[in-house]
Amino acid sequence: MLICVNISIDSLISHLILDMHLVPFKIDLVSLKRGNKHAYEAIYFEFYDVLYHLALQYLNNQQHAQEIVQDAFLKLWEIRESINDNTNIRNFLYTIVKNNSLNFIRNKQTAIRHYDIIQHHELEMQYQSLQRIGDEVMIADELQIKIEAALDKLPEEVRTVFEMSRFEDLKNAEIADKLGISKKTVEARMTRALKHLKLELKDYLLLFPLIWQQLS
């Protein structure tokens, strides 16, 4: 009968360490320190598989595991001349792979948390922007109603002059010609209309500077 057993990472690591120490392999440390590539390659081929599977158990990603192991062997080659004669190469490689794997996981978790924070801030800013837009739209709708109501309170001849000036963008002289009245009459009616609208729309003028300009 086949029994399935869940093996933890720590348990598997312990087995891997044991396997590394049981391998009947003699390391030519002297030749390695001299830069002998054959000695280096012998170490590489002897320990690559067990180190790869160690990293794979931590990272669960073949490419990242391969990169971690390659970095460990590269480190070994870079410091070969300074290696102590009593250095345990097996333990040295194992420690590098383990630490680099853990650092990779920590950096990835930090990056994920950082990304989540950025996303949260972006969503919050988008929400606030949409909320402001919604508020502004509501205020603009209210303002439109207020303007129409204020204009309705004006005498027809005063309202006509105001609309020709502000909505049709006509000059006072042009309005006077179209209506057959004097320019001073146009100016007087405009003054009356502006005073009335400023009073009616006083609560909105600070929120909408453009309206203030139109009423100046």
Task: Check whether 4 has a pLDDT greater than 60.
Answer: no
Q: Is the pTM of this model over 0.85?
A: no
What amino acid is encoded at 108 in this protein? K
213 vs 114 pLDDT, higher one: 114
| pLDDT in the model for residue 115 | 60
Confidence of residue 139 (pLDDT cuts 50, 70, 90): low
The CA–CA distances, whole Å, from 163 to 46, 82, 189, 213 equal 91, 90, 11, 15
Task: Check whether 73 has a pLDDT greater than 90.
Answer: yes
The CA–CA distances, whole Å, from 182 to 18, 128, 176, 201 equal 108, 52, 5, 29
| pLDDT in the model for residue 148 | 81
142 contact partners, CB below 8 Å, separation of at least 6: 204
Other residues' Cβ atoms within 10 Å of the Cβ of residue 193: 23
The CA–CA distances, whole Å, from 150 to 115, 194, 215 equal 51, 11, 13
